Amino acid sequence: MSAAIQNAVKKALNEKTIWQRVVTSTLDTLRPSAKALHPILMPVLDRLSMHRVHKAVNIEDLRNAAQQRAHPMVYAYLDGGSGDERSLKRSIDSFSQLQWKHAVLHGIGNNGVNTETTILGKKYAMPYFLTSCAGQRMFHADGEVATAQAANKHNLHMALSQLTTSSFQDVRNAHEGAKTLQLYVWKDRALLKDILDRAKEAGFENLALTADFSWVGNREREVRNDFTIPPSYSLQQCVAAVTRLPWAYDFASREPYRYQAVPEAKFPATSLAKFIAEQMKPEFNWTDAEWLCKEWGNQGKVVLKGVIREDDAERAIKSGFDALWISNHGGRQLEDAISPIVQLPNIRARVGSGAEIIVDGGIRRGSDVVKAIALGANSVAIGRAYLYGLTAGGYTGVDKALQIINTDVKLTMGLMGYSSINNINGKDIIVPRDWQ
């Protein structure tokens, strides 16, 4: 184990209060019994939440189901944005400003719609994929494995966060196809290189550098709900856990999660949270990015995630990135950051038709996916839409979210008169004048 990790572990343990030590010890004592009873008690405790999942007809229904199952601080992290959350709301609302001009008598039947497309060099069933999110076992104890299983079932590409709480190997076993590792630039290049090597060994083909997380946004809803990764067992957190028994029991009956991508990190996430925060490199620049592209080598494609400006998009292509990922980090970083879908046409115009472009932000319906393709995206990354499902019902919840989106993608294409996702015409969509 590296000296840096050892010091982080010791520091975290020494900073625990007496209350936190008591709660931690109590949970450690009860966990084996809770684990043994999990197959019996968990289905009973989760019955109402699973009922909500099965009854859901859209992503908003899954969002409500997630809120009623998740610990309040976990839901605050999942659902919140920065500041007054204007960027988050605008990213969602921007899609409602786009209007279709649909065709009639187009002759396309129920079996005449082809949604297959190529994402980062591989063909998938849909023009969208499941984006990365750190610490998915905080939402549901099955975490990233449940996400991978659902993506695999629907033949969808997926990205896994560097801060995953499931191992690379477990995710690989759950998802047979190509996957992308989403990475942050850390100060310790040796540690970063070790993570890259382990990802290559696990079969990850692509790399996405998240460039808009050099500073952490002002996430007031998280502060208000006493959010920590993982739970710090504060009094506020413990009281709130009593109101969400399915989540609390699921958490208490499983092994404490840890950040699996950190080499030799055989300790709960509590011991490593500050270490990881200290590893973030706010001053990382284009030179670091170019080093990363070279380090990944011929393993697969390298994507720059977090692009919003046209000049950054152009420079990314010149610096060696194979694709651009337009994103404002789900409205969780810079307040009043422009909506990604608004910038999509501008960036496409700057880099031309040859560059591969991914876009995320505010996707809640399959029609949103089709709108993004119409405006110039090659593919769309969804985050909260499937995470609401994961939080509400594990694998079953993710599966339901993907069913909802898939159905809506096909319905939108059928109503518009598109036989193939690759034939979508941007001239069929009305863009607000103030976007142009």
Region 335-355: mean pLDDT is 95
257 closest CA partner among 348, 161, 351, 187: 161
Name the least confident of 11-25, 203-217, 297-311, 345-359: 11-25
Residue 208: per-residue pLDDT:
95
329 counts as catalytic: yes
Q: 95, 81, 170: which is closest to 339 by C-alpha?
A: 95
What is the percentage of the chain residues whose pLDDT exceeds 70? Answer: 91
| Greater model confidence, 184 or 230 | 184
Q: Determine contact, residues 241/232, Cβ cutoff 8 Å.
A: no
Q: Where are the domains of the chain?
A: 3-435
pLDDT greater than 60 at residue 12: no
Query: Higher pLDDT residue, 383 or 192?
Result: 383
| pLDDT recorded at residue 9 | 47
Q: Which residue has the higher pLDDT, 396 or 330?
A: 396
Residue pLDDT, tens place only, 231-260: 888 889 999 999 999 999 999 999 888 777
- φ/ψ region of 328 (left if φ > 0, alpha if ψ in -120 to 50, else beta) reads alpha
> What ranges in 156-234 are assigned the alpha helix state H?
168-174, 189-201, 220-224
Report DSSP letters for 299-333, one per residue: SS-EEEEEE-SHHHHHHHHHTT-SEEEE--GGGTS
Provide mean pLDDT across the span 261-268: 55
Bridge partner list, 130 = 158, 382
The pLDDT mean for the chain works out to 89
Q: Between vectors from CA 149 to CA 146 and to CA 152, what angle results, nearest 5°? A: 150
pLDDT category of residue 1 using cuts at 50, 70 and 90: very low
CATH superfamily of 3-435: Aldolase class I (3.20.20.70)
pLDDT digits (tens, 9 = 90+) for 46-87: 999 999 999 999 999 999 999 999 999 999 999 999 889 999
Query: pLDDT category, 202, cuts 50, 70, 90?
Result: confident
Catalytic residue among 71, 140, 157, 329: 329
The DSSP letter of residue 132 is: P
Contact 374, 127 (CB under 8 A): no
Mean per-residue pLDDT for 357-385?
Answer: 97
The pLDDT > 90 percentage for the chain reads 64
**Which residue is associated with the tokens 């501008």?**
346
What's the token pair of residue 285? Answer: 């620049």
Tell me the pLDDT tens digit for each residue of 277-332: 666 666 778 888 888 888 898 899 999 999 999 999 999 999 889 999 999 998 88
pLDDT value of position 276: 59
